[in-house]
Amino acid sequence: MANTGYASALGAGTIINAIATWKGSAFGIDLKTRAKVRFTNNNKISGTIKGGGNPYLIKRCVRLVFKKFNYQGGFAVTTSSDIPIASGLKSSSAAANAATLAALDALGKSMEPLEVARIGVQAALDANVTITGAFDDASASMLGGVVITDNRSHTLIKREEIESEVIIYSPNIKAYSSRTDVGRSRLIAPWVDMAYELAIRGEYKKAMTLNGFLYSSALGFNSEPILMALELGIGGVSLSGTGPAYTALVDGEKGDRLVDAWSSLDGKIIRTKVNNTGAQIGR
């Protein structure tokens, strides 16, 4: 058993938001949250999220791991991240996965990746930072690539690796998933089901664009960033999660043109790519 454990996990972008139907889809992006779990010489427990966030979430993850392996003792868990918080880019899922993996690393234990993700989902529900448990986001953060899930049963339905650049527009506002208007989201469920069927067929770009228009309308976000991307011939663009960030899957020069277009908006532009590798234990 080591004294200290380290791990990292991915942010993610949305293809299908699961709030309306409990069926979701997301893709891992090459932005990471890094966690460190260190045993302490007393029974004190501390959690620090550099840059802000909910420390209860990461402390709960470590507690659940320690309980599973019958370890009792104090610890300090710390995370730092490239992922903007409260932007729909799965910062909570990444923090939960990274903290859980770092706790396992500190104990010298291992678990199947999706079991690790399920611990993070439980901790997120306990911390009230999610509505459905966000198993789709947790799975994309853990496994990388594109995932399709049933969030009610915490089941992975499909995973596929894709290669794409990802352009993110992150407005200068925050939107917390736990404060989302679930009732309005459920109103669009029949049309979200249509987007989900597109995703099942592997038509991820069409699926995420339809999802983007639906949830932008239901949750009161501007669809202009989506239309700006469509005007450039980009077929895969969506509001990510419950917003406020937008993500686009792009190739070649279209990425440059989208960066130029979205740079006229108030906020930050991030260029990254789909990560197919997933979360990792170690520094």
**Alpha-carbon span 79 to 95, nearest angstrom:** 7
Q: Which two tokens stand for residue 176?
A: 């917390």
Identify the pLDDT of residue 54: 74
* pLDDT tens across the length of the chain (283 residues): 668 999 999 999 999 999 999 999 999 999 999 999 999 988 899 999 987 777 999 999 999 999 999 998 899 999 999 999 888 999 999 999 999 999 999 999 999 999 999 999 999 999 888 877 899 999 999 999 999 999 999 999 999 999 999 999 999 877 665 556 778 889 999 999 999 999 999 999 999 999 999 999 999 999 999 999 999 999 999 999 999 999 999 998 999 999 999 999 999 999 999 999 999 999 8
Please tell me the pTM assigned to this model. 0.95
Please, which residues have CB within 8 angstroms of residue 12's CB and are 6 or more apart in sequence? 26, 27, 28, 29, 89, 90, 93, 94, 137, 140, 141
Write the CATH number for 98. Answer: 3.30.230.120
Identify the pLDDT of residue 178: 54
Domain extent at residue 202 = 1-283
Q: Which two tokens stand for residue 129?
A: 């930072």
Number of domains in the chain: 1
**Alpha-carbon span 17 to 150, nearest angstrom:** 11
3-state SS of 234-283? CCEEEECCCCCCEEEEECCHHHHHHHHHHCCCCEEEEEEEECCCCCEECC
Identify the pLDDT of residue 120: 96
